[in-house]
A and B are shown apart, each in its own frame.
Chain A
Amino acid sequence: MSGAREKRDPLARKRLRHVPPGARSRAMHALSARAAQGRLVMQACSDCDKVTYPPRDACPACWGELGWREQPAGAQVLCETTVRVSTDPYFRDHMPWRMGKVQMDAGPVALVHLHAALHPGDRAHVRAMVDRGGNAALFAIPEGAIDLMSDPQWREFVVPVAGRIALVSDARNAIGRAVVRELQTAGAELVVAGLPGPALASDAYDAVYALDRVQTIALDVTDPVSVAEAASRIGGPLDIVVNTARHVRTGGMSAGNALVEQRRALEVSAMGLSRLAATFAPILAGRPNGAFVDVLSSAALAGDAGNAGFAAAEAARLSLLQAFRHEMRGTGVRVLSVFTGPVDDSDHQHAPPPKVPPVRIAGAIAEALANGREETCVGDVAADAMMRWLADPSLYVREKNL
């Protein structure tokens, strides 16, 4: 496969990628779990209402009970420092590193990673990011429009697309086609568009596959031989894998010939993810900003009497994706999940609106990459499903099957 190749001294020892130190308190993991959803939360005391940071097990003012609350992101930079020497292997590779203290509008003073353009006295916007080891870290960025990617420190927290090589596992379905377009527009050096069989004569004239910096490749996630051959054809560096493969079929458990479709859904959603992960994880792990993005249905969150096989397959996919994310923690490869409700495509002709346009899913993927966000919900159906499921999973199963 022609296209981008990293230029480096072939005799130089391959650079080992480190991740930031990982040990955190249980309270800090609770912050990380919310930061993974793109939420800026801090603990507030249920007794005295004081907001506290960093996370603690009790209110430092009154020993009262703490609860998580969304907080305003505004802040003022108090002071800055530049770290030039560190004993930590990860930070040693990324010196110098700017940090600062900010006065949060929410109340606390917080130690934050500081964007290159910020200085003491500046107004700032604080984002709860997930570092390459998977833990929450506050990052202060300037207010207003600014090119964040120009700051190498910021790039450590996100997944740049420009100049990178990406694979879209199923570029034949509507989501995959939109993702190919999105990544190409975002400046990817090469987008490899996976096409499951059978090949069509019209593929040669397809407007998406014919785009500049897009190459097609035969790829069927249900076929280990096909996945291995695709990997060998891609051959060189690969930065981002977007798994858009899915098998959407309606049907319950008791009637009809549902087993063939259930098995197929599991083969695509669950086993397909496993095959992609096993094959491409080592390649992604060697890259400075490797990421694996999986598009999955919010049907993964609860059993669905009307779509039993599909929901089960997506649930298995979610479980495997969570396992894969934690397996990859030590490598710095980000595993991002993008949840969607029914999509406005030929697979969901039976579903009433609202449906998510594929182009919106593609946009959400680009946005998740640009923010390094682990969990994203596209559209009202997925966002509502996630909210209800987080609040009360057993109630949500009932509501979903009303």
Chain B
Amino acid sequence: MSTTPALLSDLAVAIAGGSIEIVDLTNVLSSDFPVIVLPSEFGQCEPFRIETVSRYDGNGPAWYWNNISMNEHTGTHFDAPAHWITGKDVPNGTVDAVAPRDFFHPAVVVDISAQAAEDEDFVVTRAFLEEWENANGPIPPRHWVLLRSDWSKKVGTVSYLNLREDGAHSPGPDAGAMRFLVHERDCVGLGVETVGTDAGQASHFDEPLPAHSILHGNGRFGLQCLTNLDQLPTFGAMIVAMPLKIKGGSGSPLRVAAMVPKA
């Protein structure tokens, strides 16, 4: 216990002094930021909307404020276990019940940017992850696994959602990779730059939408629409991700930041 004050004051000094850099992993929440598009027979995700109530004008001479609206899964957002049917009975599975200690977890960054550039439907498999571990070392337990695809660099272009007549095209994991990460590496959750933790074509996988299904069924979380993952080290970053305390909510837009020790 006695070390804690020193630890926190050291951290404060490190952040203030810049030896620990804070990297913002959040995209700007704007009305034109793309949201996931489901087949038209399903209900759709509402994008972010902002309407000015007053801006130092007749409706409020000294103050500026806006009404905003959105889906829980709009912009850079957090998926709670209750988001998926597999996680509906997970204890404390809604955003308001996420344990505060889960706001802070270390991260391991798996770089798939070269593969995603080559193949927009790149599928992360168990074999790929094992090979990655051989090259980089084991994925430690209780970490966020962040897939760096560089997909965030496509924000503002049609290639981000990458919708075509046969659906969306973006990289993501298969069921084998998810079981490996959840059951053998005990990940906290999966964080991605794409609009969903699952690949664009994941509804056509043998086990459809494996990231959502396996993560949430096992009480793990999702982070989507992240950016700046290319500024993180493979190991050693600490993620701060605190979803809004929406009563019974399935997810939440949020600000995600990483603490990164400077070399």
Contacts and interface: CB of A to CB of B under 8 A. Distances in A.
**A and B are interacting partners:** yes
Interface of A: 197-204, 218, 220, 222-226, 257, 260-261, 264
Interface in B47-96: 47, 49-52
A257 B41 CA distance: 12
Given A198-B37, A198-B163, A203-B158, A223 B49 contact: yes
B41 to A, nearest CB: 11
7 contacts: A200-B163, A223-B32, A223-B47, A225-B30, A225-B32, A260-B43, A264-B44
B124 to A, nearest CB: 24
Contacts of B162: 201
What are the 4 A-B residue pairs with the smallest beta carbon separation, nearest first?
A225-B31, A223-B31, A199-B158, A201-B158
Given A223-B49, A224-B51, A198 B34 contact: yes
Given A222-B49, A225-B31, A225-B50, A257 B43 contact: yes
A197 B47 contact: yes
B218 interface: no
B32 A218 contact: yes
Contacts of A223: 31-32, 47, 49
B113 interface: no
A217 to B, nearest CB: 12
A200 B169 CA distance: 12
A135 to B, nearest CB: 34
A226 B31 contact: yes
A349 to B, nearest CB: 11
Interface in B143-171: 158-159, 161-165
Contacts of A261: 43
A35 B32 CA distance: 43
Interface of B: 30-32, 34, 37, 43-44, 47, 49-52, 158-159, 161-165
A222 B159 CA distance: 23
A197 B165 contact: no
A182 B251 CA distance: 45
B96 to A, nearest CB: 22
Given A224-B50, A224-B51, A197 B32 contact: yes
A279 to B, nearest CB: 13
Contacts of A220: 31
Given A223-B47, A224-B51, A257-B43, A201 B32 contact: no
Interface centre among B32, B34, B47, B159 (most CB of A within 10 A): B32
Nearest to B49: A223
A203 B163 CA distance: 11
A309 B162 CA distance: 32
A247 B149 CA distance: 35
Given A226-B32, A257-B43, A260-B43, A202 B50 contact: no
A220 B165 CA distance: 21
Contacts of B161: 198
Contacts of A222: 49
B59 to A, nearest CB: 14
Nearest to B52: A224
Nearest to B35: A198
Contacts of B52: 224
B32 A202 contact: no
A145 to B, nearest CB: 45
A252 B63 CA distance: 42
A198 B195 CA distance: 13
B43 to A, nearest CB: 6
Given A218-B32, A225-B32, A226-B31, A200 B158 contact: yes
Nearest to A223: B31
Given A224-B51, A260-B43, A202 B165 contact: yes
Nearest to B43: A260
B164 A197 contact: no
A225 B33 CA distance: 12
B159 A201 contact: yes
A323 B33 CA distance: 33
A7 to B, nearest CB: 34
A260 to B, nearest CB: 6
A220 B52 CA distance: 17
A201 B163 contact: yes
Nearest to B36: A198
A339 to B, nearest CB: 26
A169 B163 CA distance: 22
A261 B43 CA distance: 8
Contact of B164 (A201, A257, A260, A264): A201
A382 B256 CA distance: 53
A218 B34 CA distance: 13
A200 B162 CA distance: 7
